[in-house]
């Protein structure tokens, strides 16, 4: 492997997380129903997965359905969950053949039995794959993630299985829905909005943030490459002093 190739690989983030935003506005500006935006967004997911695999990213987390999305109209919720079910039935085996592992994080208990069964089947089918691990955040909220982890540890302390002073950051992280997954190196939000919207609040402590002014259905391999290029130019210090200049 050439030195240039090694340097390029060193600049590739291990974990990219994306807030996929703008499906509704994309559809509205074209005079289309919101479902058309969500369908176009699913096509963008496929492009994003291809780009992540081509560039050597190991983990990709996609914010697909937030805990706040349950407050949307019942028809839109039904459209979103139906589209997810369709995607899993028709794409899981294809992703499996490409070496993709699928994981689903969030309060999945809020979904109906049929969708939960599809999620479980996709996870089981792909669980031994390692080319790219894709986490779909569904019915997910960062605050809810922290609360459920705290509840688990509180129960353990109340039952005498751990002492409160034994709780460390690493122990807490092991009870989050993302347990076993490295924290994201970079978090991306599309559509021009500049906020996290309750996404990976604990895990994002040292993530680089990139905001892109493109609606998610228009997201391309080129947009993903721009994220990686920005990441490669940034100096990550994790609170340490910058290195002294030569």
Residue 241 confidence class, pLDDT cut points 50, 70, 90: low
Is 180 within any annotated ligand binding site?
Answer: no
Residue 69 annotated in active site: yes
Among candidate residues 4, 21, 79, 185, the one labeled active-site is 21
Is 38 within any annotated ligand binding site?
Answer: yes
Is 143 within any annotated ligand binding site?
Answer: no
Domains, the chain, in order of start with CATH, read: 3-141+186-231 (3.40.1180.10)
Residue 21 annotated in active site: yes
pLDDT tens sequence across 88-103? 988 999 999 999 999 9
Is 95 within any annotated ligand binding site?
Answer: no
How confident is the model at residue 10, as a pLDDT? 56
C-beta pairs of 142-145 under 8 Å, 24+ apart in sequence? 142/196, 142/198, 142/199, 142/200, 142/201, 142/202, 142/204, 143/198, 143/201, 144/67, 144/106, 144/107, 145/105, 145/106, 145/176, 145/177, 145/178, 145/200, 145/201, 145/202
Q: Is 1 buried (19+), middle (13-18) or exposed (0-12) by CB count in 10 A?
A: exposed
How confident is the model at residue 237, as a pLDDT? 73
Among candidate residues 69, 107, 129, 218, the one labeled active-site is 69
pTM to 2 decimal places: 0.91
How confident is the model at residue 73, as a pLDDT? 87
> Whose CA is closest to 139, among 66, 62, 38?
66
Which residues, at least 6 apart from 220, have a Cβ–Cβ distance to it below 8 Å? 44, 47
Is 160 within any annotated ligand binding site?
Answer: no
pLDDT tens sequence across 163-194? 999 999 999 999 999 999 999 999 999 999 99
How confident is the model at residue 37, as a pLDDT? 96
pLDDT tens sequence across 23-54? 999 999 999 999 999 999 999 999 999 999 99
φ, ψ of residue 62 in degrees (nearest 5): -120, 125
Structure tokens at 76: 């839109």
């Amino acid at each position: 492997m050439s030195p240039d190739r090694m340097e390029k690989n060193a600049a590739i983030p291990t974990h990219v997380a994306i807030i996929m935003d703008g499906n509704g506005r994309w559809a509205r500006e074209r005079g289309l129903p919101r479902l058309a935006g969500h369908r176009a967004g699913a096509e963008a997911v496929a492009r994003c997965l291809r780009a992540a695999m081509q560039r050597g990213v190991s983990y990709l987390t996609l914010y697909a359905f937030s805990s706040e999305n349950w407050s949307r109209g019942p028809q839109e919720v039904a459209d979103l969950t139906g589209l997810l079910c369709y995607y899993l039935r028709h794409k899981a085996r294809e992703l499996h053949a490409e070496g993709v592992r699928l994981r689903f994080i969030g309060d999945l208990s809020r979904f109906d039995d049929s969708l939960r069964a599809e999620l479980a089947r996709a996870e089981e089918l792909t669980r031994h794959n390692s080319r790219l691990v894709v986490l779909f955040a569904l019915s997910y909220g960062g605050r809810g993630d922290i609360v459920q982890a705290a509840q688990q540890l509180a129960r353990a302390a109340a039952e005498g299985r751990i002492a409160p002073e034994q709780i460390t950051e690493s122990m807490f992280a092991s009870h989050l829905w993302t347990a076993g997954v490295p924290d994201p190196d970079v978090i991306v939000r599309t559509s021009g909005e500049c906020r996290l919207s309750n996404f990976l609040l604990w895990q994002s402590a040292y993530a680089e943030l990139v905001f892109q002014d493109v609606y998610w259905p228009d997201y391309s391999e080129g947009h993903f490459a721009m994220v990686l290029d920005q990441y490669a130019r940034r100096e990550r210090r994790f609170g340490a002093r910058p290195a002294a200049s030569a």
